[in-house]
Each structure stands twice: as structure tokens, then as C-alpha cells.
Amino acid sequence: MTALTVSGVTVSFDGTPAVDDVSLSVEPGEVLGILGPSGSGKSTLLRSIAGLESLDAGEIGWLGENITAVPVHKRGFALMFQDGQLFPHRSVAQNIAYPLRIAGTPSRARVTELLALVGLAGFGDRRVTDLSGGEQQRVALARSLAAEPRLLLLDEPLSSLDRELRERLAGDLRRILGETGTTAIFVTHDQDEAFAVSDRVAVMVGGVLRQTGTPADVWRRPASAEIARFLGYTTVLEGEAARVVRPMARGAVALRPAAVVVSAGGPVAATVVRSTPAVDGSRVRLAVPGIGEVDGIASAQHPVSAGDTVTVRFDDDAIADLP
Ligand code: ADP
Ligand code: MG
């Protein structure tokens, strides 16, 4: 049976809907990613599911039962935020034990197990203020999982961390949610994070859920050019131009920069408009006859400068079909 159902939920502030007629469902053990730009209504939707916002319209259901009127603390859901909101004057173990104490089921063994789960075995007696940002978020995750919530709601839990740490924690988060069989909703504005953590992704723009599917489906077939741009596709090609990069294309195609690769012996000639150094090679702007200007990449082995004539190949993995 479906775990969570959100049906036609609308939440407005001063007459303006922040969440507009949103419907979605989450299966038991599934991680649903909600991906959208800042201000698109993600947090408001999450707070509505938690029971922290009153709905203008719609219904929240759990295992088929209408829980719209059930108060926050009786839903059995846990929330985790960007800033883990730990108790600064308590130790790591005391922070993790807190929900167990509230539930009347304190257990040192459970705390030890949770510490191991989040990769902090032996950290129990440390002060949380002595931990790094990433370690603090691991503690917050352990605390959120302590009482085995029926649903874990994660609101940009990695956003305050630096990039490398974020990538590592995203992988760990996926593993931990999987190992514990936790049903979860993971809110983020970061495409890579959504892809890394979620079983299914729902794209939210302007308070409206615009597209839902597996990460692979959503990236292969964005529902519109606007969604494609949000997903990191920087160029949209139509008609003949689309068929230059994807001969079988029926309609428009969208290209991420990685779709156009400067490559010795590539099938198509291009002129470099500009080249900007990047961590691994360079980001280039290319003029391609029959297509126009597109973003592309060049590897560090192929340094290029504005005005150079080069050849390019197209990488199908970074090209999506548009409707
Ligand atoms: P996101 O989490 O995607 O960044 P939010 O849900 O926080 O988006 O906000 C969606 C919209 O609702 C924004 O325009 C925001 O300003 C507005 N909003 C959110 N919370 C409140 C509130 N408590 N009062 C008034 N406006 C709000
Ligand atoms: Mg938010």
C-alpha cells in the first residue's frame, strides 16, 4: 500500500499560493527527491506534509488514512533541516538519544548502532560544537532516525556543506536510507544531489509539480525546455540543428555542455568563440555551422583559445529529447 499521499494540496501566504494544487505519492521505503529552484515552494510543501502549515485545500494521507487533521507530533514523521539544529550543550550521544528519551525508550545500544550507521562510531562523548559541519549533519541524521520515523522529511540537509563533502554525504545518505528502509522525502535545489539520493524525482517550479519520474527518465526526457534548463541543459536545438547532434531526433533536443566535446578527428568542424578554464579542462563556447553557438567542453589535453578551428564530437549521454 502507498505510504504517503498528497492530494491537491494548496498553501497560500497573503493570497498568493506557495504550493499550488500539488499531488504526489511515496511508496514504502522509497526516497522521493523534490527538486526546484529557491522559492519554488519546496519547504512549504514539506512543512505541509509534516503538519506545520494549514492547508487552503487538499488532503494528506498515510497508508490510506486521512491525516490532514492529525497534529505534528502524532504523525510519527521526523524533519531534518539544512542546519541540523543540534543541542549545543549536549554530547553527540545525548543528542542522538533525545528522541528515544522523549519516546520513553532510552537505549545505549541503539545510540551505538546509530553512531556506527552514520560513520561516527566512538564519537558519542564528543561535544557537538567540536564537530565539523559534515559530522554535525551526520549526528542530526542519526537523531532523526533514532525513533524510526514512519517518514523522514529532509529539507536541503547538505546545502550548508562544501562541495566535496556534499557529494560524499549524498552517497552516504542514500546508503543509510536504503539500509534502514526509511521512507523519505529529500528536498534540494541541487540537481546532482537529487540524482544521487533519490529513487524518484519530482521537479517543482513556482509552487507547481511539473514532472515526476526516475532520475534517468527526467534527465533523458525533460517535460519542457524550462525544466531542461533547470536540470543543467544550456542549449536547446530544433529542426535540422537538432538532427545534426542526434540524427534520429523527432523534435527539439537539449544539450548539457558535456554534449559537445572538442575532440581531434571529431566529425563536425567548429570555431572556438571563447574558452574558460575549469577544474577538469575548459568550458568552451563554440560556433558550429548549421547549429549556431553552443556550450561545450575541452579536456586539459586539448587546450583551445578563442578563434581556433577545432573538430567536435557529440556525447549522447548529455543530450535529451524534448517534447
Ligand atoms: P523553497 O523552499 O523552494 O525555497 P519556500 O517554500 O520556502 O520555497 O517558499 C515559497 C514561497 O512562499 C516564497 O515566495 C516564500 O517567500 C513564500 N513563503 C514561505 N513561507 C512564508 C511565510 N511563512 N510567510 C509568507 N510567505 C512565505
Ligand atoms: Mg526551502
pTM > 0.75: yes
Ligand that lies nearest to the alpha carbon of residue 82, given by its number in the listed order: 2
Q: Are residues 200 and 59 in the same domain?
A: yes
Is 84 a residue whose pLDDT tops 90? no
Asked if residue 272 and residue 158 are part of one domain, the reply reads no
In tens, the pLDDT along 231-275 reads 999 999 999 999 999 999 999 999 999 999 999 999 999 999 999
User: Which pLDDT band holds residue 56 (cuts at 50, 70, 90)?
Assistant: very high
Would the pLDDT of 279 be above 90? no
pLDDT in tens, 297-314: 999 888 899 999 999 999
Query: Which of 208, 223, 238 marks a domain boundary?
Result: 223
On the question of pLDDT at 32 being above 90, the answer is yes
pLDDT tens readout for residues 91-115: 999 999 999 999 899 999 999 999 9
Kindly give the pairing relationship between strand 200-205 and strand 208-213.
antiparallel
Q: Kindly state whether residues 117 and 101 are assigned to the same domain.
A: yes
Q: How far is the CA of 146 from the centre of ligand 2 (A)?
A: 24
Helix (H) or strand (E) holding 253: strand 253-255
Number of domains composing the chain: 2
Stretch 52-67: mean pLDDT, rounded?
97
Looking at residue 281, its pLDDT comes to 86
Give the distance (Å) from ligand 1 centre to CA of residue 55.
14
**What is the pLDDT, as a whole number, of residue 280?**
80
Summarize pLDDT for 115-162 with one digit per residue, the tens.
999 999 999 999 999 999 999 999 999 999 998 999 999 999 999 898
Residues 125 and 241 reside in one and the same domain: no
pLDDT at site 204: 97
The per-residue pLDDT for 262 is 96
C-alpha 68 – ligand 2 centre gap (Å): 22
Ligand 1 pocket test target in 12, 40, 44 with most atoms within 8 Å of CB? 44
pLDDT of residue 128: 96
Q: What is the mean pLDDT of the chain?
A: 95
**How many angstroms is it from 44 CA to the middle of ligand 1?**
6
Ligand 1 nearest atom to the CA of residue 187, by list position? 2
Tell me the pLDDT band of 321, cut-offs 50, 70 and 90. very high
Please report which ligand is nearest the Cα atom of 47. Answer: 1
Quick one: pLDDT at residue 260?
A: 97
Q: Are residues 200 and 238 in the same domain?
A: no
User: Domain residues for 88?
Assistant: 4-223
Atom number, ligand 1, closest to the C-alpha of residue 44: 6
Report which protein residue has its CA nearest ligand 1's atom 25.
Answer: 13
Of 223, 241, 262, the residue at which a domain comes to its end is 223
